[in-house]
Amino acid sequence: MNAIERYFGINGSNTTIRTEVMAGITTFLTMAYIIFVNPNVLAEAGMDKGAVFVATCLAAAVGCFIMGIFAKLPVALAPGMGLNAFFTYGVVLGMGYTWQTALGAVFLSGCVFILLSLFKIREWIIDAIPGTLKKSIVAGIGAFLGFIALQSAGIIVARESTLVMLGDMTSFGPAMAALGFFIIAALAHKRVPGAVILGILIIAIISLIFGQTQFGGLMSMPPSIAPTIMQLDIAGAFNVGMIAVIFAFLFVDLFDTTGSLVGITTKAGLIGKDGRIPNMGRALLADSTATVAGAMLGTSSTTSYIESVSGVASGGRTGLMAVTVGIMFLLSLFFAPLAGMIPAYATAGAIFYVAVLMMFSLKEIDWEDITEAAPAAVVLLFTPLTYSIADGIALGFITYTVVKAATGKFNEISIAVWVLSAVLLAKIIFL
């Protein structure tokens, strides 16, 4: 115990091993929904659900262990929401690429992320991207997730004349998805630990009671990961058309990670007097390395989870909290039958709840300034309506540059934004 206390600086952080472990368990409960949601989402891309379940748990564990042991920060990682939806509905189903090629793109985005972290280019990129675009991208992904959740639950269905319409809300799936969302929202408002996973499990139990799903047991040995491990197609990802996809994976992960790290470490009181996050470089390497490992195992991009704030609020201050979360993900490997019983409509309510949380960033945008509001609205509307995070980001950058230039606000357009806008415009025109 003394060795653990010394390594993680337990005493110096005014915490205890017990506090860190309990904080880790609390964090796991708030983010464990991903072990149910991620297999359902990636299965839509044609991937083996059992193998994705194992890959999800292992990728999360790897990320948590690297973050906890190497960066020593109370930050948990797992395959990211939004990124998994883009993987399935944008790249595979939308653009027609195989899931193996999509994994190759995730792998390459992780490698570029590692290089950006090693050569300290990340700071330049983050600083160069306007705050409006950062916030609107988060909200745009939220809108995309919300649309996917409504569609998967049958709440929104296809209609030839108007493209979409309201589905039959009296049928079992849509009704349960709506009920799941209401349960999660109510539990979250009451600050009940694990509100999201509780909502999913309650709907799954109701589904069992009404005979909509069959009980397959709670525990077993983990399924085989053979169908997904090392199945990534890196060569296929070097296609010119995949440049925007890799860019989207990279930037969404970059923004998500940076925002989560700032929020978590601020809540934990770990920000230095100079405003810097301790071990920031190592934290970014942990995130990017986990993405590379996850792609090799068979899952979409792994990222830092803002849900770690729940553990910090419970007293977590060191990397031991992250290590505890990693152990919990490994133990989850033995609950594959439970994950297999979770229907899509049970996770739809959870996905929609996450979408709502992501929309909170809209309040930070200056809607009184049309040069800020226009690009934000473009990202918010075009991301779900084009069914592509990459297209939403591209059109947002182009709109920001054009509107700012047209109104004479050239000083607000950085060189990086000029370059990125030109490249993205060329892609839309010529590719």
Q: What confidence category does residue 1 fall into, taking pLDDT thresholds of 50, 70 and 90?
A: low
Do residues 103 and 232 make contact, with C-beta atoms less than 8 angstroms apart? Answer: yes
Q: What are the tokens at 333?
A: 């490997």
Nearest to 404 by CA among 376, 429, 383: 376
pLDDT at res. 177? 94
Q: 342: how many CB neighbours lie within 10 A of its CB?
A: 22
Contacts of 329 (CB under 8 A, 6+ apart): 28, 35, 57, 58, 60, 61, 64, 78
Strand partners, 79: 302
pLDDT mean over 172-182:
94
Q: How far is Cα 314 from Cα 333, in angstroms, rounded to an integer?
A: 25
Per-residue model confidence (pLDDT) at position 353: 87
pLDDT for residue 416 is more than 90:
no
Residues ≥6 apart with Cβ < 8 Å to 137: 251, 252, 255, 379, 383, 389, 392, 393, 396
Q: How far is CA 55 from the centre of its chain?
A: 15
Q: What is the mean pLDDT of the chain?
A: 87
Instruction: Give start and end residues of each alpha helix (H) in 32-48.
Output: 34-43
Q: Is 127 a residue whose pLDDT tops 70?
A: no
Q: Is 129 a residue whose pLDDT tops 80?
A: no
Least confident of 63-67, 203-207, 245-249, 331-335: 245-249
Instruction: List, for residues 46-57, the tens digit of each pLDDT value.
Output: 999 999 999 999
- Under a CB-based contact definition with an 8 Å cutoff, are residues 354 and 85 in contact? no
pLDDT in tens, 369-398: 999 999 999 999 998 888 777 788 889 999
The tokens of 269 are what? 């009181």
Domain ranges of the chain: 2-9+16-357+366-430
pLDDT at 160 over 90: no
Short-list 231, 356, 245, CA closest to 295: 231
Where is mean pLDDT largest: 24-33, 159-168, 236-245, 310-319? 159-168
Cβ-proximal residues to 21 (8 Å cutoff; 6+ apart), any chain: 320, 321, 324
Residue 211 to residue 195: CA distance in whole angstroms: 24
Beta bridge partners of 157: 165
Above pLDDT 90, what percent of the chain?
41
Q: With contact defined as beta carbons under 8 Å apart, do 408 and 105 qualify?
A: no
pLDDT tens-digit map of 242-294 = 888 888 888 778 777 777 777 787 777 777 666 667 787 788 888 899 999 99
The 8-class DSSP code of residue 232 comes to -
Nearest to 102 by CA among 38, 42, 40, 51: 42
pLDDT on residue 126: 65
pLDDT at 253: 82
In which element (H, E) is residue 157 found? Answer: strand 156-159
What pLDDT, on the 0 to 100 scale, is given for residue 358?
A: 81
